[in-house]
Structure formats: C-alpha cells, structure tokens
A and B are shown apart, each in its own frame.
Chain A
Amino acid sequence: MASASTAATAAPNSLSLPPSQFARLQPHAYLLAHLSPPSSSNQPSIRANGRAPSQFRVTSANAGSLTHTNGSAVVRLGDTTAVCGVRAEILHTDDIASWSVSQSTNANKRRRIGETEKESETADEEDRAHIEDLNLLVPNISLSTGCAPGFIPSAPPSALAQSLSHQILSLLHTTRLVQAEDLRIWYQPPNLGPEEAQQHNDEEQMDLDAGANEEETKPAEIKAFWVLYIDIMLISLAGNPFDAAWASVLAALRDTKLPKAWWDVDNESILCSDDVNESQKLSLRGLPISSSFCVFEADAAAGWRAVVIPDAEEQKAQDSKHGSQKWILADPDGYEEGLVQERVHFVVDKEEGKTVIVKMEKHGGWTVDSEDLRQLVDISAQRMVAGLVVPVACLPALVTLSPRHTGTSSESHIDHEPLHQPMTELG
C-alpha cells in the first residue's frame, strides 16, 4: 500500500501498477497526486478526469424529441444523462375536495384587504397556494434504470431518488418557476339572459348609470388546472445527478406547450384544441441554474482531529502549514463523489442584472469558509453569464436539430444501416 502511493508520487521508476489500477486501489492518493503535482514540475493542479478544479463538464441538451410528452429534454452532463418528460393532465376543480371552501375564504380575504398595493401580494400568495397545495407540479426522478451498478432495477425508489425528487419539488416551489396563471383554465360564464338582464336594469336604473350592465357580468371562474407530471429518468449516472436532473427539468419545461383548453358547457368537461398554433408555451420565471461542488481534503480527518484532540496544538500548526490542503471541485464525477464528505450546492438566478442566490446548501464538513462560499457564488454566476449551461442558452438551435439524435448519442454518423441485404433474400 505504502509502496504504491510512494511509487506514484515520488519514484516513477519503481511503478509497476498501471494508472487505472492505482486509481482503484488507492483512489484518495490517486486524486491527491493529481491535484498536488510536485512543486518542481510547475504544473497546475488538475483533477484525475483532466479538468481544472473549478471546471464544469460539457453540457449538452436536446429538447422536444419525445413524441408523447408536452415537453421533453435530454441533458448530458459529461457522462451523466437525464431524460425529462413533462406530461400535462387536467385536474377539474370538481375533483378537488376542498375547492369550494377555499375559494370562498380567498374571496373574503381579498375583499377585506382591498387595497391595491396588497393585491399583488395576495395574488402571489394565491399562486403559491394553488401550485403547492393542489400539487400541480409532480416531479419524480427514477434511478432504477440500471444507470449505475448500485441501484437495483425495478426496486422502489432509493433514498437518493426520494431525496432528489423532493429537492426538485421544493426548488420548483421556491423559485416559483412555473406561473400558476399558465396552469389555470378559466371559464367566463355568459351574460345573463336578455330578459333577466332587462329586469335587473329596470330595478336599478334609477340610481345606476349605464355602466351597471358591464358590472353585471359574472366573474370568470377557474374550472380546472393543468397538472404537470415531470418525470426524470436518469439513464446514466456518473456523478452530480442533481445538476443534470434540474437542467433537464428546466429545458423540458421551456419546451412545454399546453394546448388551449376551455370549459365546454354541452359536454360538461374540459376540451382542448389540438392546433399547435393555439397552444401556449409556459412562461417561466427566471432561469435558476444549479451548480454543485465538493470539497476534497488532502487529509480528510484533519479537521475532526483538531477538535477531538484539543491538546494537539502543535499538530494543528503543522496542519495549517501544509497538511490541511483542500480543493473545491466543481461538478464532481462519480469517482470524486466517492472520496469527499463536504458538499456545497448553489442555485443562482439573475434578477435585473443582479445575481440572486435561490438556494444554498452546504453539509458534510467545515473546511469551506465564508470567503470560499463567496467565490463559489461568483463561479456559479459566471457559469450562467458565460452560457456554459448549454441547455438554456442553445435550446432554440438544438430543437431544430434532427430528432434522430435524441438520447444519448453525441455523434451521429453511423445512424442507419441500409437494410437492403434481407430484401434481396426475400425476393
């Protein structure tokens, strides 16, 4: 063991292990050797996968290639591939048990507040209530696709899958990415019949002017909601599933078209138009981008030891000199994820030219300080500016690509073999 590690770092002459085996036997030492090249060589520190520590993998996306979805996207983040399909279904307000009750209380509330500046706030609150309380967004991520050896196919969702699904759900809610208005299907009841209206007019003509007739129209009511089933199949997992899944959700939602829908009085149901020109794209609020980092420590136990053994101050001093080196690695792959404890996770968005942190998560250790965090926010924000996140920046161009290259293939040359051989045999 010792000989192997020294062999790689110091004495290449005695090295008898090929790098791939060394990487398996001594993963920590292998990555460390890459990140801390001998000072004499003057090489920059580089990761085992060839990336610089703050470099993200190449992202590519393709949207709209799945036939039976309202919107879909395939996102590849290096070797991690996520396929997201959005299916819209209709939730009738008749099917919502508490609908009539909640409607009337809401109406009361609105009347009570009344003031114009608070109106928008209430509307926001109502949007939130509709989307969250009625479960209009249903994201589910599936890892049981054979994407990595650890997951048993066709088993119930693993802990990781459950946690990812809920992270995506809460992120959808907190970013308020989808606007509730897009999901509502309104119905404007027709004006009162002419006779009835006449009667009303007669009675009230004395103290009301002609405008009363307009006020008399019934308020539009919500007849149904669109429910978006957002299903993410992780086809291939090589680290950082969340960034890939979120990017695919984002790209699929941008691709999502909802048909024009209305309440049909004769059929007493919601009908939709299948005309593409009448359908509407979702108008998404902002463009939150997720970036994940992990922290690789030269001596993973250093921080812990410092606390557990309070009298080891000398050692601490030593550590600060050279031992407790750390590298913050952007967009970790599967190999790196297995070697780290501490993870940092950002979701940032741009609002009027300013970077907004939508979500920040850090757990698993204490080596990252506030200064590091500030830097990481900058990196995440730059990523957005630079358009490194291809799914979003290049979407329109990719949609027009041939749908043949869905999925997973980046090269497209072999495509279809001509199938003439069997034909001759058939003759």
Chain B
Amino acid sequence: MNDRRRVNGPPGGTRPPVYASLLQSGTGADIRAQRQRQPTDLRKIFLKTGLIPSASGSSYLEFEPSASLAAARSNPKSLIPPSSALKLACTVHGPKPLPRSAPFSPNLVLTTHVKYAPFAARKRKGHVRDSSERDLGVHLETALRGAIIAERWPKSGLDITVTILEAEDDRWWGDVPDSHDASWGMMNVLAGCISAASAAIADAHIDCLDLVSGGVAALVSDDSTDSSSALPKLMLDTDPAEHRSIVSACVVAYMPARDEITELWLKGDSSKVSTADGDERSGHEALIDGAVDAARGAHTVLAEAVRESLQKALGQS
C-alpha cells in the first residue's frame, strides 16, 4: 500500500547498487577490517548532553570509527565503507502530566522509542518502525526503568526518543551470513542507546539510582583456518564488521554504584570459551562479566559528560 503521507519513490521499487568488484570471488580478503584493539580495549566514546534546547534533556553519542573506517575516511579509495561507527541522538521530554485518558499511575510512566534513520544502515530502512526497532525500544525501557526512581513522579510520563543516524553492521560487508549469524550490530546499538538515554535523563534532572551504562562483550572465533577446534575468545566492545564469526554476544545495562544489572540480553551459543588457566567461569558467566567491564568503561565517559553538563548549568545560573 502506498503511504500517502510521505513522498514515495518510483512505484516499481528500486534496487541498491551492486558493485562489480564484489562479483569477483576472493576480493576484499586483503582489505578486510581487522580489530586493532586489544581484546579488552574499548572504543572511545563521544558523548555530549544538552544540545537540543527544546527537549528537557538530550544527548548525542558517537563511537570512535574503527581503524579501517578512519583510514577509509582520510584516504578514500572505495565507495564501500569498511565498517561504520554508531551515531545517535537521544531526547527526553518530561516529566509531564499523563493524558486524561491514561489510568492512574503511582509511578513515572516511561515510553521509549528507537528509530533508525532511513540512511542509518547498509540496507535502507523503512519509515515505519519495524520489529527490531520495537524490540530495541522494549530492551531500552527495561534497562532504564530499573535505574529511575519512578515513585518520585506519580501521575507523570516521560518520553524517551532515540534517533539512530548511523548503526553498526551485523558482520563484515563481504561475508555471507554464516550459521552463527544474527543481528549482532543491534546489540551495540542497544548499548549506545542505554548510555545516551542515561545521559539525557540526567540532563533532564530526573532522579536516578545511578547512571546506567551499556556494554557489549562477545565470544569471537576469528581463526579462519581451523575454526572448529579453536575455542572462541572473549572480546569487549566488539565491532561485528571486524570479526569473522561472532558465536555469541551479550549486552548489559549496568549500574556500577550498586553492582546491579538492569537489563541483560545474551544470545548465541556460549558453551565453549577459551579462558585463561584457572578461570573456572563458564562461557555465559565470562560473557556477562565482560559486558559489565565494558559498561564500566562507558560509565566513566558518561559520568564525565554529565559532570560537564552540570558545570555548564551551574555556570549559567
């Protein structure tokens, strides 16, 4: 059905461009994006609050581009980007009175919306939220609700909107989806959404137990030669474009002050993991701990951004 409220493209539909170089087999092996960071190194995060004055709270978050993407930017050769770096904006509106039709609530009612810009991913997204975006919205809501002290705002609502301007890839663009394939990029997006929303909520001066931050860890088998025998390794803050095969991944929303997890999303087969000697943790425990460590890293950035916005606010008044 045609959407009459938008400008529609050609009725017959269009096709994304097909690059000739992709049709030759074996290309790209040499230009494959490789992780340059140590397994426990995190990407840098750019986070700034209060950029959208019409909202009660807002934040903008950006991940550092991977080494390959940075190289491609400074010295462009191919039109196919090697990987992408998360960019998103988050706004918070409220607390505001609930509509008259809404039932009484003794607590702050949270609504979350996550929407990809049509140009955010390698494949063009539609204008209407699809199921993955709705799914992300539910995850984000769970993550935030645990952190907000909701009973301080009875009969009020809080709208949180995240617009994703650039998402993360699910795998390296040249790879075919393999048996482990899933939407891994979505997990990085969720971690970014959690940290950004947390900053925006703090910017809106909503009481929270702690700044909740998101972190991702994954079990990765990068060995192309002999993937069956080598055990997958634990990596923090994985960019799926930099890995051959992600076996399982986990994202947490974590509050360091209370050492508590408000949101946990783990998927994939975490039964096998190569751990250090004497490490008795099973795969999923290692994965959760890794994600918590990544979230701790994001928390330092978050705290710094919030402190800065507070200083700015104090300086103004």
B170 within 8 A of A: no
In the assembled complex, B76 has its CB within 8 A of some CB on chain A: yes
Q: Chain A, 394-427, contact with B by CB distance < 8 Å: what is the 0/1 string?
A: 0000000001101111000011110101110110
Q: In the bound complex, do residue B54 and residue A149 qualify as a contact, i.e. CB atoms below 8 Å apart?
A: yes
Q: How far is the CB of B69 from chain A (nearest CB, A)?
A: 7
B6 within 8 A of A: yes
- Does B79 belong to the interface (CB within 8 Å)? yes
**Which of A136-144, A203-211, A370-378 is the interface stretch?**
A136-144
Q: Is the CB of B7 within 8 A of A139?
A: yes
A265 lies within 8 A of chain B by Cβ: no
Who on chain A is nearest to B82 by CB?
Answer: A67
Q: For B129, what are the chain A residues with a Cβ–Cβ distance below 8 Å?
A: 154
Asked whether A275 and B77 contact (CB < 8 A) given A67-B85, A235-B163, the answer is: yes
Name the residue of chain A whose CB is nearest to the CB of B304: A417
A261 at the interface (CB under 8 A from B): yes
The reply to whether B17 and A89 contact each other, CB–CB distance below 8 Å, is yes
Q: Which residues of A contact B152 (CB under 8 A)?
A: none
Contacts of B21 in A (CB 8 A): 273-274
- The digit string for B25-48, where 1 denotes a CB below 8 A from any CB of A, is 000000000000000111011101
- Minimal beta-carbon separation of A266 from chain B (angstroms): 10
Interface size in chain A (residues, C-beta < 8 A): 79
The answer to whether B297 touches A422 (Cβ under 8 A) is yes
CB of B278 within 8 A of chain A?
no
A290 at the interface (CB under 8 A from B): no
Tell whether, in the assembled complex, residue A403 and residue B118 are in contact, meaning their CB atoms are under 8 Å apart: no
Tell me if A257 is interfacial: C-beta within 8 Å of chain B: yes
Q: Is A148 an interface residue (CB 8 A)?
A: yes
Q: Which of A111-119, A226-234, A294-302, A383-391 faces chain B?
A: A226-234
**Would you call B10 and A154 a contact (CB within 8 A)?**
no
A181 within 8 A of B: no
- Asked, given contacts A145-B89, A145-B115, whether A409 binds B48 with beta carbons under 8 Å apart, the answer is yes
Which residues between 120 and 170 of chain B lie within 8 Å of chain A, taking CB atoms?
120-122, 124, 127, 129, 159-161, 163, 165-166
A5 within 8 A of B: no
> Are the C-beta atoms of B40 and A274 separated by less than 8 Å?
no
B77-105: contact bitstring with A at CB < 8 Å (1 yes, 0 no)? 11111011101011111001000000000
**CB-based contact A229/B124 at 8 Å:** yes
* Contact for A276 among B12, B78, B122, B124, CB less than 8 A: B78
Task: Check: A88 CB closer than 8 A to any chain B CB.
Answer: yes
Write the nearest CB–CB distance from B187 to chain A, whole angstroms: 19
Contact across chains for A85 and B117 when beta carbons are under 8 A apart? yes
Tell me, rounded to whole Å, the shortest Cβ–Cβ distance linking A169 to chain B: 5
- The segment from B59-67, B218-226, B261-269 that touches chain A is B59-67
- Complexed CA–CA distance, A145 and B90 (Å): 8
Taking CB as reference atom, which chain A residue is nearest B299? A422
User: Smallest CB-CB separation from A93: which chain B residue?
Assistant: B12
Q: For the complex, what is the distance from the CA of A334 to the CA of B53, rounded to whole Å?
A: 11
State whether A89 touches B14 (Cβ < 8 A): yes
* Chain B neighbourhood of A229, CB < 8 A: 9, 118-119, 124
Whether A414 pairs with B41 at a CB distance below 8 angstroms is no
A-B contact pairs, 15 of them (CB 8 A): A66-B87, A69-B119, A90-B16, A95-B13, A142-B117, A153-B159, A165-B6, A227-B14, A236-B53, A271-B20, A276-B77, A404-B62, A407-B60, A407-B87, A421-B297
**Interface positions of A (Cβ within 8 A of B):** 66-69, 72, 79, 81, 83, 85-92, 95-97, 134-136, 138-140, 142, 144-149, 153-154, 156-157, 162, 165-166, 169, 227, 229, 231, 233, 235-238, 257, 259, 261, 264, 267, 269-276, 279, 334, 403-404, 406-409, 414-417, 419, 421-423, 425-426
Residues of chain B at the chain A interface (Cβ within 8 Å): 5-23, 40-42, 44-46, 48, 51-55, 58, 60, 62, 64-65, 69, 73, 76-81, 83-85, 87, 89-93, 96, 113, 115, 117-122, 124, 127, 129, 159-161, 163, 165-166, 293-294, 296-297, 300-301, 304-305, 308
